[in-house]
Each structure stands twice: as structure tokens, then as C-alpha cells.
Amino acid sequence: MGVLDVFLQHSSSTSLFGALVVLLLIYIISSYIFSSKGNGKDPPGPKPLPVLGNLLQLDLERPYNTLMELSKKYGSVFTVYFGSQKVVVLAGYKTVKEALVNHGEEFGDRDLFQIVKDFNRGHGVLWSNGDAWKEMRRFALTNMRDFGMGKKACEDKIAEECDYLIEVFKKYKGEPFDTTQPMNYAVSNIICSIVYGSRFEYDDPKFTSLVDRVNRNIQLLGSPAIQVYNLFPWIGKWFSYRKEFETLFNANKNQNLQMFSHLKESLNPDMCRGIVDAFLAKKQTLEESGVTNSHFNDDHLFAIVLDLFAAGTDTTATTLRWALLLMAKYPKIQDQVQEEISRVIGSRQVQVEDRRNLPFTDAVIHETQRLANIVPMALPHKTSQDVTFQGHFIKKGTTVYPLLTSVLYDETEWEKPHSFYPAHFLDKDGKFVKRDAFMPFSAGRRICVGEGLARMELFIFLTTLMQRFRFTPPPGVSEEELDLTPRVGFTLNPSSHKLCAVSHV
């Protein structure tokens, strides 16, 4: 949907003269704002229009593509106006790393989209700042370690979930099917185990509706309509997409509140089942010791749970779906992965330690994450103070996009940035090599909280599926016809497609 369509749908001018006067005023005010913001050292960028900024130049369905183009013209630090919102874009591995790692403090705040401000109001980890963020991030990291990441128990949990997923795949008996829902449910169950302390059946409507609603909202977050709402919130209280977002958000909130109250009834602070228990136990201890102003309140609890769900399900499941699609598209690479797995592990359960003996498979997983580029603009950051960076002055409170696409596709870092080329991660002897510009989880103080868990999931899910199935295009579809164009959304999912999972055993 074009920007103008959205405007036209919602404009209701009654008088041409009045509209002209308003436009003139806006023009004068925004010319003043745009010019007064510059102090000669502002990062360069295309000239903005009043009110619309550079919106007419931006592909709102795939803004990261336009930003990649603009970086060719304006360099690695440039300014672009999303409506009247000034955004500084960081492009290329060296610049993104320098900003997020060497100037982590200055570039480390989070900027909130309007739709997030409306509903989340800065709670949890993803969308918080300051002391609340510090405390919630520390809590999430510690407890994810305790209830999941890096532990043998978690490895077993993932392997067990794989068995359920395999049963679903088997039901299709090699016929084409859409991998989206089973993959989302399997990955989501890992989060459920960590968060609530239990998994759910894939046909439990309470569970499936929760997962489907979270995923739909992530898709809405990246839709042109919601992006326009974020920039011009006054168009929007009646906007159908915002209404849909609100309905789904509230349904998830109510369902979670019910689950929290069940968990509260059976809470044993000495035997926490998951993150919700740990949060409730901490809240109880603080209340008992008379602390009334802590961040351990119901708003943060719901936000943290939703964060882990939203950030932890769609991302990992999407990456796995890209991996299967790429295996079907490049059967010779699939052959090599399967040969390596059957030579090194055979049919026993895969363990995390096996990774070091599976360099090719490891390279394929890394290359999948690089090429799939599922969070192309990371999440919006914000400067926490005035900063002079690479000779440019960036004011405190400026929105900053670290363009991860420009890192993962950096032509000075990757031999074949636009191809699926696992050799990016292999030396001449076939050993796995780390690459600095591999940054799908971002970097610095806002780096993904779930990186360890996600890496474990990707490895165990993919190797286990490869042990059991060969993935192919549907009959009548050639490998070349499998489309790698991503669907529109906040995270980059593969476009709708079906695959066949042909059982080996």
C-alpha cells in the first residue's frame, strides 16, 4: 500500500483554502525545524519534504533496501527523515560495530515505535530504557540461563520437542506442506518451557491462538500501514490495522494474566518452574521486605513474557524455515550436510558438543542466518547523549537504525554477499571459521538476549530434521523456482511456500 493511498483513505478536507493555509503553515514550521536541527556537521542525507520527510523515496514494504541504496550515495552514516522524524542510519560492518561496541553507551538506548508506546509503554526488556531495562535484562539473562540456555536440560528439551515436530512432518507422508505453523509451535514450546515451565500440545487452541496472535502482530509491526500510523498517529485511532493489533494484544494479555494467576496459586518460591515463577517469587520477597517501588510489578512481568515470546519464537522458527528452503533449493549442499551428519553422528541424538565435529553443517547454519538477514534494521536505537561520531554531530534522543543488512551483505567483508555460500565460514581445510561481520544478533549492550538459546535451537532442530528427512520442492516445482524473496514484515520470513519432507527411515 502506498503512503499516499493511506493518506487519501483518511483525509477529510472540507475546504481547499483551509487545507492550503494549513499546508503552508506546516511547510514554514517544518522548514524551520529541519534547518534548525542542522549545525553543519549533521550526517548528510537526501533533502526532506515538509511533513513527509523522505517518505516518498522510501519503499515502506522493504525500507532496508532503500536505506542500502542511500548508503551508496551518502556513506556509512547518513540522515533520513521518516515523516518529520529524523533518523540516523549506520551502514557497513566497521561503522555499525564502532557505534554499537565502541560507543555502546551513547548508541544504546531504545527508541519506541508509536504503536509500542500505545501498548507496552516501555516495560520489559525489548522496549525499555534506563534502570528498568538494566534490571529486566539482567533478570531475563540470569533466568534464561537457569531455566534453559547452556544447560543439558535445555538440550534435551529441544531434542524432545524435535520428536513431536518430526511426528507432524511424518503425517504428510512426503506430500507438500507449509512448514510455518508446526515450526512456530515447536520453537514456541521451548520458550513456554522456559517461561511457564511446561510445553503445550500443537492442537491446544489456547496455545496455538497465543502463538498465532504474537506472530500476526510481528507481521503487522512491519506493515506499511502500521509504519504510517507510527509516523502520523493522529490518523489512527480508528485505523483498522491498529484496531487489529490492539485486539490481538489484549487477547494475549488476558490469556497471560489467567496463566499467571494459575501459576501464582501453586507457586513454591523454592522450586520455581520457569521465569514467571522466578519473577513472582522475587516480587513476593521484595514486597515482604517492604520494597514498594521495584520494577518487579505486573506490567513488567507481562511485558517480559511477551518479549521472550515475540523475540524468541518468530526469529528462530523463521531462520529454521529459511534453512529448510535453502536445503531444498540447493540439494548438493543438502547432500553434504546429510553426509557429514550421518558420518559423524549417525542416528543417535544430536548434542551441542557435536557442533565442533560438524563444521560444514555449522557453516550452513551461519550462512543461512547471514543470507536470511531476518532482522534487517535491528530494532530502533536512540542516542542517550549528544555524540560526535565519525565527524558527525548526533543529538541526544536521535533515532538510530543499525542497518544489519549492510553488515551481513557488506561487500568488503563477504566474498559472495548475495549468494548462499557456506564457504564464507570454512577455511581451505574445511574447518569452521568465525567471521567478525556475522552479526545477525546485533552487537553491544543491546545485543540479543536469546543468542545462546537461539544458536542451540538452530543447531539441534536442523541437524535432527536432517537426520530424518530430505527436503525437496513440491512435485512439478524446480529448485530454481523456489523463491527467496522475503515476505513483508518486521522480521523477514520466506514468502509463502510448501516443501516435501521425505523420510529417510
Residue with cell 531475563: 140
Q: Which of 376, 404, 385, 395 is nearest to 103 (CA)?
A: 385
DSSP state of 289: T
- Does 375 bind ligand HEM (CB under 6 A)? Our answer is yes
- Does 112 bind ligand HEM (CB under 6 A)? Our answer is no
Q: Which of 187, 169, 185 is nearest to 177 (CA)?
A: 169
Which residues from 146-185 bind ligand HEM, rule CB under 6 A?
A: none
Q: Which of 99, 94, 123 is nearest to 388 (CA)?
A: 99
**Smallest separation, CB 6 to ligand HEM (Å):** 27
3 vs 67, beta carbon nearer ligand HEM: 67
166 vs 408, beta carbon nearer ligand HEM: 408
10 vs 445, beta carbon nearer ligand HEM: 445
DSSP state of 374: S
**Smallest separation, CB 29 to ligand HEM (Å):** 32
Q: Which of 86, 97, 123, 137 binds ligand HEM (CB under 6 A)?
A: 137
52 vs 125, beta carbon nearer ligand HEM: 125
* Burial environment of residue 129 by CB neighbours within 10 A (0 to 12, 13 to 18, 19 or more): middle
Q: Which of 88, 301, 345, 378 binds ligand HEM (CB under 6 A)?
A: 378
C-alpha cell at 99: 557505534
Per-residue binder mask for ligand HEM (CB under 6 A), 290-309, x = binder: -----------------xx-
Q: Which residue is nearest to ligand HEM (CB)?
A: 450
DSSP state of 326: H
Length of the chain: 505
- Does 58 bind ligand HEM (CB under 6 A)? Our answer is no
120 vs 315, beta carbon nearer ligand HEM: 315
Q: Which of 43, 417, 450, 486 binds ligand HEM (CB under 6 A)?
A: 450
112 vs 126, beta carbon nearer ligand HEM: 126
What are the DSSP E strand ranges found in 133-199? none
Which residues from 301-360 bind ligand HEM, rule CB under 6 A?
A: 307-308, 311-312, 315-316, 319
- Does 277 bind ligand HEM (CB under 6 A)? Our answer is no
Stretch that binds ligand HEM, among 55-63, 91-99, 327-335, 448-456 (CB under 6 A): 448-456
* Alpha-carbon span 285 to 282, nearest angstrom: 5
- Does 125 bind ligand HEM (CB under 6 A)? Our answer is yes
Residue 272 annotated in ligand binding: no
Are 382 and 111 in contact by the 8 Å Cβ rule? The answer is yes
Q: Which amino acid is at 119?
A: F
* Alpha-carbon span 28 to 198, nearest angstrom: 58
The 3-class secondary structure across 420-451, one letter per residue, is CCHHHHECCCCCECCCCCCCCCCCHHHCCCCH
* Alpha-carbon span 265 to 268, nearest angstrom: 9
Report DSSP letters for 227-243, one per residue: HHHHH-GGG-TT-HHHH
- Does 191 bind ligand HEM (CB under 6 A)? Our answer is yes
**Smallest separation, CB 459 to ligand HEM (Å):** 11
**Smallest separation, CB 140 to ligand HEM (Å):** 6
Q: Which of 3, 116, 448, 501 binds ligand HEM (CB under 6 A)?
A: 448
Q: Which of 454, 456, 460, 499 binds ligand HEM (CB under 6 A)?
A: 454
* Alpha-carbon span 376 to 395, nearest angstrom: 24
Q: Which of 359, 440, 489, 494 binds ligand HEM (CB under 6 A)?
A: 440
Are 195 and 78 in contact by the 8 Å Cβ rule? The answer is no
**Smallest separation, CB 319 to ligand HEM (Å):** 4
Q: Which of 4, 99, 112 is nearest to 60 (CA)?
A: 4
- Does 446 bind ligand HEM (CB under 6 A)? Our answer is yes
Give the Å distances, CA to CA, from 469 to 156, 247, 369, 457, 462: 20, 39, 21, 18, 10
Residue 185 CB partners (closer than 8 Å, separation 6+): 200, 202, 207, 208, 211
**Smallest separation, CB 151 to ligand HEM (Å):** 14
Q: Which of 453, 456, 466, 499 binds ligand HEM (CB under 6 A)?
A: 453
**Smallest separation, CB 110 to ligand HEM (Å):** 6
Q: Which amino acid is at 473?
A: P
Residue 128, helix vs strand vs coil: coil
Note the residues at the interface with ligand HEM (CB under 6 A).
110, 125-126, 137, 140, 191, 307-308, 311-312, 315-316, 319, 374-375, 378-379, 402, 440-442, 446, 448-450, 453-454
Binding residues for heme: 448
Binding residues: 448
